[in-house]
């Protein structure tokens, strides 16, 4: 049966046909030998043939409107997923813009971090300085019970997603403090996410918690380290528990402040060739250090810990880490979108790659199930991993 198609669909089909013709032509012109010609051409020809076949069927029979951008994004997402690469991902143009902001430590939001508490509400564990949330009166420990039209207790995921939105838009939420509920309307805006928290403990040991590794983390970390050194601290504890990683460049820049001259990150590509990606200069910090790690310490965070141990700068305290020792690169596409794929392994300066096995701490201290569940409420008297790290640093000072 013949059906009319719109001008837009006709243009799309012509563009698709042109793209297939171009790609196949390129493959034929670039693969000279029979051994290279046969299999790649067969694989690619079958792939484009099947896509073309599906496209014909859908265009001819589907009783509905197709959003071409949405369709193309899903095709691209499926390609990334179909590679079998656990860490591969496709980002639409909007998602890629947001990702770049994330990697720079900047997001659009209201300026809070929260967790799902034992009651099922969103409990605020930190409020960013000078953020819309702080200006609106929110504080650490508040329970968020309603966001927009969603009750947090009965519709947690949708409620949390409702916090997101474009800069300049508003969101209403209800928070509970000391049994009293208060409604506020907060305007979202772009903010720099604080990823470093620091304090001087009673034993004159600097405690620095790093929640992420972004380009903005570097300056925050440098400021915290410099401040601690000016106070002549007797040691450092770097807390990277529940830190899922970030950019290799930021890790390298932070390690450069701490370790002596030498390699800090190596990479091994698909051919097995190893090369040094980042090095440090001869400036270093020469006081005892410990690094707190756990099962959620991953990727670049693991590399941070491994490098400090490789240079005999720090002892690791806590539980075995996640074990992600492979590196992804992000490739921007012509329409503003991007694809991320695994391109190499990354190795610490001296020790072996830890992908799939993680890092075993020098001092294994596992939290109880209850402590892990309420990790955000642990303090100097209840955090057994922190208590052990303090004793390790004190012993290294003797």
The residues with which 151 forms a beta bridge, in sequence order, are 146
> What is the tens place of the pLDDT at every residue in 165-193?
999 999 999 999 999 999 999 999 999 99
d(CA 215, CA 57): 47
The better pLDDT of the pair 12, 218 is held by 218
Give the pair of three-digit tokens for residue 121: 């509400």
User: What pLDDT sits at residue 202?
Assistant: 87
User: What pLDDT sits at residue 43?
Assistant: 63
Residues 135-156 have a mean pLDDT of 96
d(CA 284, CA 293): 22
Residues 101-119 have a mean pLDDT of 93
> What is the tens place of the pLDDT at every residue in 235-255?
999 999 999 999 999 999 999
User: What pLDDT sits at residue 42?
Assistant: 67
User: What pLDDT sits at residue 398?
Assistant: 79
The DSSP string of 78-110 is HHHHHT--TT-EEE-HHHHHHHHHHHTTEEEE-
> What is the tens place of the pLDDT at every residue in 255-264?
999 999 999 9
348, 107 Cβ separation under 8 angstroms = no
User: What pLDDT sits at residue 48?
Assistant: 85
Is pLDDT at 306 greater than 60 in this prediction?
yes
Give the pair of three-digit tokens for residue 212: 């992420």
User: What pLDDT sits at residue 141?
Assistant: 96
Is pLDDT at 292 greater than 90 in this prediction?
yes
How much is the CA Rg of the chain, to the nearest whole Å? 26
Matching residue, tokens 């305290």:
317
Is pLDDT at 25 greater than 80 in this prediction?
no
Sort strands 150-151 and 314-318 into parallel, antiparallel or unpaired.
unpaired
| Among the listed residues 305, 251, 297, the one whose alpha carbon sits nearest the alpha carbon of residue 278 | 251
Residues 72-78 have a mean pLDDT of 93
Coil, strand or helix: which one is 388?
helix
Continuous H helices in the chain: 7-30, 34-61, 68-82, 93-103, 132-135, 156-161, 215-230, 248-256, 300-310, 369-373, 384-396
pTM score above 0.75: yes
């Amino acid at each position: 049966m013949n059906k009319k198609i719109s001008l837009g669909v006709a243009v799309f089909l012509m563009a698709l046909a042109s793209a297939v013709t171009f790609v196949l032509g390129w493959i034929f012109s670039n693969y000279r030998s029979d051994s290279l010609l046969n299999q790649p051409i067969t694989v690619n020809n079958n792939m484009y043939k099947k896509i073309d076949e599906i496209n014909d069927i859908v265009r001819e029979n589907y009783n509905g409107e197709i959003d071409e951008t949405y369709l193309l994004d899903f095709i691209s997402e499926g390609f990334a997923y179909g590679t079998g690469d656990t860490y591969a991902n496709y980002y639409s143009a909007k998602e890629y813009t947001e990702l770049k902001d994330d990697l720079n430590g900047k997001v659009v939001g209201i300026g809070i971090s929260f967790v799902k508490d034992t009651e099922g509400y969103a409990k605020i564990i930190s409020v960013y300085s000078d953020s819309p949330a702080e200006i609106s009166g929110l504080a650490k420990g508040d329970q968020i019970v309603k966001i927009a039209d969603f009750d947090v207790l009965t519709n947690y995921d949708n409620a949390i997603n409702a916090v997101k939105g474009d800069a300049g838009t508003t969101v209403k939420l209800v928070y509970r403090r000391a049994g009293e509920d208060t409604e506020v309307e907060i305007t979202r805006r772009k903010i720099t996410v604080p990823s470093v928290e620091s304090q001087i403990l009673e034993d004159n040991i600097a405690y620095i918690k790093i929640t992420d590794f972004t380009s903005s983390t570097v300056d925050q970390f440098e400021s915290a380290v410099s401040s601690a050194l000016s106070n002549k601290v007797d040691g450092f504890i770097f807390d990277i528990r529940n830190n899922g990683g970030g950019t290799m460049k930021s890790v390298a820049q932070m390690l450069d402040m701490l370790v002596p001259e030498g390699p800090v990150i190596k990479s091994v590509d698909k051919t097995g060739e190893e090369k040094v990606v980042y090095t440090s200069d001869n400036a270093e910090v020469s006081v005892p250090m410990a690094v707190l790690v756990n099962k959620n310490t991953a990727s670049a965070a693991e590399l941070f810990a491994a490098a400090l141990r490789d240079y005999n700068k720090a002892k690791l305290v806590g539980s075995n880490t996640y074990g992600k020792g492979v590196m992804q690169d992000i490739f921007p596409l012509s329409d503003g979108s991007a694809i991320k794929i695994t391109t190499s392994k990354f190795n610490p300066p001296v020790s072996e790659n830890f992908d799939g096995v993680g890092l075993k701490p020098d001092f294994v201290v596992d939290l109880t199930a209850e402590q892990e569940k309420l990790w955000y409420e642990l303090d100097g008297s209840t955090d057994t991993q922190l208590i052990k790290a303090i004793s390790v640093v004190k012993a290294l000072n003797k």
